[in-house]
Amino acid sequence: MRIGIYPGSFDPLTNGHLDIIERAKRICDHLIVAVARNSAKRSLFTIEERLDMLKHCCQSLYNGIEIVTFEGLLAEYCKKRHVNFIVRGLRAIVDFEYEYAIALMNKKLAPDIETVFMMAKGEYSFLSSNIVKEVASLGGDISTLVPQFVQQKLQEKFSSRSE
Ligand code: ADP
């Protein structure tokens, strides 16, 4: 059984992430979508909120996807879960150096686990969670960039902040 893992911050989930999830699902028997608990980045959404968004938007759409959170080193979590490969998305060239460094480090920490890169879909290749947050905070239209559920959560977040 080929077990893949797609780790990330998902702060918040975007249509670009969903596209990778859908495609990754096709190349493995079991896909774990893993939200990092200890990301150094400051997040807008709590870990529970991010998990909830993923569960709401993925589980009904794609059977056989497991959504989890993990803490500590990804390589250790992968060993524990007998993961065969890590899936990461690549957008423009700017992603490459960062992703390459992480992939090399993971290879060092867990030599049996491969990192598989998927090129972002053209229309999502400049889409990031940060851009979505920025546009949503300024009241812009993000309806083509994130699932409706996420759009609602962003609106709630920013309207409660401006009160
Ligand atoms: P991280 O903090 O681990 O980079 P993200 O949630 O920002 O977490 O991204 C998780 C993964 O999804 C990364 O490999 C990232 O390059 C990829 N990704 C992010 N946005 C997109 C997108 N629009 N299309 C394809 N892949 C994406």
Q: Tell me, in angstroms, the distance from the centre of ligand 1 to residue 10's CA.
A: 8
- Ligand 1 atom closest to 121 (CA): 24
% helix, strand, coil for the chain, step of 5: 45, 20, 35
The torsion angle over the Cα atoms of residues 149, 152, 153 and 154, rounded to 10 degrees, is 120
Q: Residue whose CA is closest, atom 2 of ligand 1?
A: 9
Q: What's the whole-model pTM score?
A: 0.95
Q: Is residue 82 part of a domain?
A: yes
Task: Grade residue 160 by pLDDT with cuts at 50, 70 and 90.
Answer: confident
- Would you say the CB of residue 89 lies under 6 angstroms from ligand 1? yes
- Would you say the CB of residue 124 lies under 6 angstroms from ligand 1? yes
- Would you say the CB of residue 12 lies under 6 angstroms from ligand 1? no
Q: What percent of the chain has pLDDT over 90?
A: 87
Q: Tell me, in angstroms, the distance from the centre of ligand 1 to residue 158's CA.
A: 22
- Ligand 1 atom closest to 126 (CA): 23
Q: Is residue 157 part of a domain?
A: no
Q: Is residue 160 part of a domain?
A: no
Q: Is residue 147 part of a domain?
A: no
Q: Is residue 142 part of a domain?
A: no
Domain at 41, CATH number = 3.40.50.620
- Would you say the CB of residue 43 lies under 6 angstroms from ligand 1? no
The pLDDT assigned to 162 comes to 61
The pLDDT assigned to 117 comes to 97
Q: Is residue 46 part of a domain?
A: yes
The pLDDT assigned to 128 comes to 96
DSSP designation for 144: T
Q: Which residues are catalytic?
A: 17, 41, 91, 129
**57 phi and psi, to 5 degrees?**
-90, -20
Q: Is residue 36 part of a domain?
A: yes
Q: Is residue 146 part of a domain?
A: no
- Structural domain for 26, as ranges: 3-126
Instruction: Work out the burial of residue 30: count CB atoms within 10 Å of its CB; fewer than 13 is exposed, 13-18 middle, 19 or more buried.
Output: middle
Q: Tell me, in angstroms, the distance from the centre of ligand 1 to residue 125's CA.
A: 10
CA 127 → CA 18, 105, 133, 149, 163, distances in Å?
12, 26, 11, 18, 28
pLDDT of 95-143, one tens digit each?
A: 899 999 999 999 999 999 999 999 999 999 999 999 999 999 999 999 9
- Would you say the CB of residue 151 lies under 6 angstroms from ligand 1? no
Count of structural domains, the chain? 1
